Structure 1
């Protein structure tokens, strides 16, 4: 079962992991990224680097797997974007499996995917879709977000929708949301006023894509009034769609009722 956790380095990243690496200005990005790519040979992974095709991605002059530069792809094929990245990861993961590799090992420089930055909504839409793919267990993906290339709201959104994270703890919200199966998502930690906007954006993306969203809450410690308001707003956003909370604790259930949200007009069901 997948779980939310912080990783001290990229060394312990395993198949099925989807890591948000918030890269600070004083991080040694090149060394860490090169070691991550080089580990592909050690573990029998096929390596895909989405970023700049520079010598730093090689060992002794030998390229580490496939290197795709989004800037070149955009020039050759109009419209290459985050959706194209998702399609590429899906295709290469399938190919790696057929070729006998353990998994597809991906490092993506997100500032190359979004050279002009991205909104929290764009980040949530892309990363939730990517996490759904990674959860299948045929890939391990590290999404590197450089502090200087994205605004704080986008960085916080990225951290909130990855099950694993590395770096810049001050920009990490109190909750994590990640795929737990088809149309099923796990939420852990605390959804409070500080993370409510990020939670609202993520839930809005999930409700838009599925008529029923199952939210597993066994590891949800607390959801305050701001978090519950965000959940109710997301549930009402698309008529005919609903959210089912599974395993919510007694405190969450009691507060939901006390706040007046336990009514038919709000399509949220608290399952046993």
Structure 2
């Protein structure tokens, strides 16, 4: 998406913030839209950011760095719990939804691994399923390694930023233990794909992948699928709506065997 203007309840957006982006102006507009649409606003970031023209925050404002400096154990798990609690509170208080904008370099000021990003963002994606929240995770390029940014975008349904840094595929929640995969999983995105899948199989005995919008999976992508499925014993991945090309290549590569815990659903 070119701007944050069309986002609404149920959306989970990764914003790759570049050096030329006016973060402050965009944050102000995002918060103002929340007030306009009757949504409760939660802003996670630095306290010196001018979230509104007069400098006053429009909604709740939390700075993870300041919280940690004060002795609090503030991290990604804290953010997840806060968003969940505030979304429930917003519903009770009569708001249409909870509107969240988070500066992820403040959540992870010392850097973060691709696996940690996958875990956190997949959990956040589960929260928006009930359409009680709209969440924008702002990743400033200066605060993260390039490969980490690709991981971040791949596990968000929507992205805002430079097209060249967008991965070829997206994975997002489509229900309990069910995930939609779209786009292209090739050599460039295979490692990101595997990282996300490993996190999913670590938490669920059976993971369903809906692939009706998946255009292509090459040999590297299929290898990543196999490796992720075998990562944790006793787990299984069910691939739904795979096309005939996928099925034929899967068989030719020798993966259609009982030893590999991946099932291609009819």
Shorter chain as denominator, the TM-score bin is over 0.9
- Equivalent in the alignment of 2:248: 254
- Equivalent in the alignment of 1:10: 4
Bigger shift: residues 231-240 or 67-76: 67-76
Counting only pairs closer than 5 Å after superposition, residues 13-52 of structure 1 correspond to structure 2 as 13-52=7-46
Contact 2:182 2:212 in 1 (8 A): yes
Following TM superposition, by how much is the alpha carbon of 1:55 offset from its aligned partner in structure 2, in angstroms? 5.2
Contact 2:50 2:57 in 1 (8 A): no
Following TM superposition, by how much is the alpha carbon of 1:202 offset from its aligned partner in structure 2, in angstroms? 0.3
- Provide the rounded CA distance (Å) in 2 between the counterparts of 1:53 and 1:154: 25
Give the counterpart of 1:203 among 197, 209, 230. Answer: 197
Deviation readout 1:38-97 (Å, 9 max, x if unpaired): 111111100000001125112434420000000122133442100110000000000000
Aligned length: 266
- Provide the rounded CA distance (Å) in 1 between the counterparts of 2:58 and 2:140: 22
Q: Secondary structure at the match of 2:254?
A: coil
- Equivalent in the alignment of 2:64: 70
Following TM superposition, by how much is the alpha carbon of 1:171 offset from its aligned partner in structure 2, in angstroms? 1.2
Contact 2:201 2:232 in 1 (8 A): yes
Structure 2: unaligned runs, 5 residues or longer: none
Give the counterpart of 1:265 among 230, 254, 259. Answer: 259
Q: CA RMSD in A?
A: 1.0
Q: Secondary structure at the match of 1:229?
A: helix
Give the counterpart of 2:156 among 147, 162, 185. Answer: 162
- Equivalent in the alignment of 2:210: 216
Deviation readout 1:15-37 (Å, 9 max, x if unpaired): 00000000111111111111001
- Equivalent in the alignment of 1:4: none
- Provide the rounded CA distance (Å) in 1 between the counterparts of 2:185 and 2:130: 26
- Equivalent in the alignment of 2:234: 240
Following TM superposition, by how much is the alpha carbon of 1:257 offset from its aligned partner in structure 2, in angstroms? 0.7
Following TM superposition, by how much is the alpha carbon of 1:249 offset from its aligned partner in structure 2, in angstroms? 0.8
Following TM superposition, by how much is the alpha carbon of 1:175 offset from its aligned partner in structure 2, in angstroms? 0.3
Bigger shift: residues 166-175 or 189-198: 166-175
Q: Secondary structure at the match of 1:203?
A: helix
- Equivalent in the alignment of 1:3: none
**Runs of 4+ off more than 2 Å:** 58-63, 75-79
- Provide the rounded CA distance (Å) in 2 between the counterparts of 1:129 and 1:149: 22
Q: Secondary structure at the match of 2:191?
A: helix
TM-score, normalised by the number of residues in structure 2: 0.98
Contact 2:187 2:220 in 1 (8 A): yes
- Provide the rounded CA distance (Å) in 1 between the counterparts of 2:52 and 2:26: 13
Relative to structure 1, the CA distance from residue 61 to residue 32 in structure 2 (aligned partners, 3 Å threshold; closer, same or farther) is: closer
TM-score, normalised by the number of residues in structure 1: 0.96
Contact 2:14 2:152 in 1 (8 A): yes
